[in-house]
């Protein structure tokens, strides 16, 4: 294994500090490349692929993992050449929970040494127009509406102190603003709501099974359409988050599709893996079992 570690030193709390302290003991002479700003993990991942690394270890949260996956997916022969390992150091670690990866440092590192490779679906968002057309590969989830506006409203210093609670507080602030309607098209089927969530797996916001039938290997995206977001709905989500359980909302729809298009008459942002990526319209698609990840 020729491995490179891409490390987010600003990952939440003491996890990142402890990882750096123990790095020489657990990682030996593996190449370490820390990030210094948002988006750099993508650049470092592309460089690692070009240099011939067959394994890139993402040491950070979901945002770091997502950036690295985007870098590998957009590098020449990246998906064929390179697999991803994960040391979960973030706030939510949604993908790690989805794949049953351990959250403690030494157990996670043991998985990288003794685990096996699996393949999961790789979603992509295409947005922009003309010469400004962009693609953004991601891993676990996406959304347009309230959740993307909540991401924009998160106080990141506060997030480092209180973790997931910062997202709930940001959601409450976003609820107080205008909530434009988002329209979804999946072939001949259409739906609309104030919030539309796209899932590649089951989990959202930690271990909340937002997409109960989600399967990361079926070549389909889960689509949850919420017609109206209310304070009661946010309270239901908070309760579900506390107890790692599902919940239902009045009038919502669950759909599945290989391609989903989202649009709105207003300027509406969308997020992928917890970070805002752009504005509607956007087209989501998925490559079946295109991403290689090390699991227990």
Residues 97 and 170 in one domain: no
pLDDT at 233: 84
Residues 27 and 110 in one domain: yes
Percent of the chain at pLDDT > 70 equals: 86
pLDDT at 276: 87
Residues 38 and 178 in one domain: no
Last residue of a domain, one of 79, 95, 114: 114
Residues 28 and 67 in one domain: yes
Beta bridge partners of 134: 127
Helix (H, G, I), strand (E, B) or coil at 185: strand
**Cα–Cα distance for residue pair 243/208, rounded to 1 Å:** 8
Q: How far is CA 236 from the centre of its chain?
A: 22
Residues 213 and 98 in one domain: no
pLDDT at 8: 86
- 254 belongs to a structural domain: yes
Among the listed ranges 37-46, 54-63, 172-181, 237-246, which one has the minimum average pLDDT value? 172-181
CATH number of the structural domain spanning residue 169 = 2.60.200.40
Residue 156 has pLDDT above 60, yes or no: no
pLDDT digits (tens, 9 = 90+) for 70-121: 999 999 999 999 999 999 988 789 999 999 999 888 899 899 989 899 999 9
Between these two residues, 192 and 19, which has the higher pLDDT value?
Answer: 192
Last residue of a domain, one of 114, 139, 169: 114
Residues 134 and 244 in one domain: yes
Between these two residues, 106 and 201, which has the higher pLDDT value?
Answer: 201
pLDDT digits (tens, 9 = 90+) for 182-198: 999 999 999 999 999 99
pLDDT at 30: 84
Number of domains the chain contains: 2
Residues 59 and 28 in one domain: yes
pLDDT at 23: 72
CATH number of the structural domain spanning residue 83 = 3.40.50.10330
For residue 71, give every residue at least 6 positions away whose Cβ sits within 8 Å of its Cβ, in sequence order, or none: 41, 42, 43, 44, 45, 46, 48, 49, 78
Q: What is the pTM of this model?
A: 0.89
Residues 151 and 278 in one domain: yes
pLDDT at 159: 52
Residue 164 has pLDDT above 90, yes or no: no
Q: What is the dihedral of CA 199, 163, 228, 198, to 10 degrees?
A: -10
Residues 269 and 135 in one domain: yes
Residue 204 has pLDDT above 60, yes or no: yes
Tell me the average pLDDT of the chain.
88
Scanning the structure block, which residue is given the tokens 């959250």? 103
Residue 283 structural domain: 124-288
- 295 belongs to a structural domain: no
Residue 163 has pLDDT above 60, yes or no: no
- 39 belongs to a structural domain: yes
Last residue of a domain, one of 87, 114, 141: 114
Question: Which two structure tokens, joined as six digits, stand for 61?
Answer: 């949260």
Between these two residues, 173 and 263, which has the higher pLDDT value?
Answer: 263
Residues 129 and 234 in one domain: yes
**pLDDT band (50, 70, 90) for residue 153:** low
What is the pLDDT averaged over residues 45-59?
Answer: 96
pLDDT digits (tens, 9 = 90+) for 255-290: 999 999 999 999 899 999 988 899 999 999 999 999
Residues 152 and 82 in one domain: no
Residues 177 and 248 in one domain: yes
- 194 belongs to a structural domain: yes
């Amino acid at each position: 294994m020729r491995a490179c570690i891409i490390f987010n030193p600003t990952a939440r709390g003491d996890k990142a500090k402890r990882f750096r302290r123990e790095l020489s003991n657990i990682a030996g002479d593996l190449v370490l490349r820390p990030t210094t700003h948002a988006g750099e993990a993508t650049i470092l991942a592309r460089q690692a692929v070009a240099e011939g690394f067959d394994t890139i270890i993402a040491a950070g949260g979901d945002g770091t993992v997502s950036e690295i996956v985007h870098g590998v997916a957009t590098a020449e022969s990246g998906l064929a050449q390179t697999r991803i390992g994960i040391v979960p150091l973030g706030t939510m670690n949604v993908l790690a929970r989805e794949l049953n990866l351990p959250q403690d440092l030494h157990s996670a590192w043991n998985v990288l040494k003794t685990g096996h490779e699996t393949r999961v679906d790789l979603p992509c968002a295409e947005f922009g127009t003309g010469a400004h057309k962009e693609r953004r590969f991601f891993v676990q989830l996406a959304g347009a509406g309230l959740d993307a506006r909540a991401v924009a409203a998160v106080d990141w210093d506060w997030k480092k102190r209180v973790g997931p609670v910062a997202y709930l507080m940001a959601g409450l602030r976003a609820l107080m603003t205008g909530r434009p309607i988002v329209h979804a098209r999946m072939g001949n089927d259409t739906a609309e709501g104030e919030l539309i969530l796209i899932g590649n797996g089951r989990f959202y916001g930690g271990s909340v099974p937002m997409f109960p039938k989600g399967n990361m290997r079926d070549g389909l995206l889960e689509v949850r359409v919420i017609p109206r977001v209310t304070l009661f709905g946010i309270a239901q989500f908070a309760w579900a988050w506390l107890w790692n359980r599902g919940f239902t909302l009045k009038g919502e729809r669950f759909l599945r599709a290989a391609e989903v298009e989202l649009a709105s008459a207003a300027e509406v942002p969308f997020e992928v893996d917890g970070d805002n990526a752009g504005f509607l319209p956007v087209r989501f698609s998925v490559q079946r079992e295109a991403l290689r990840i090390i699991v227990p």
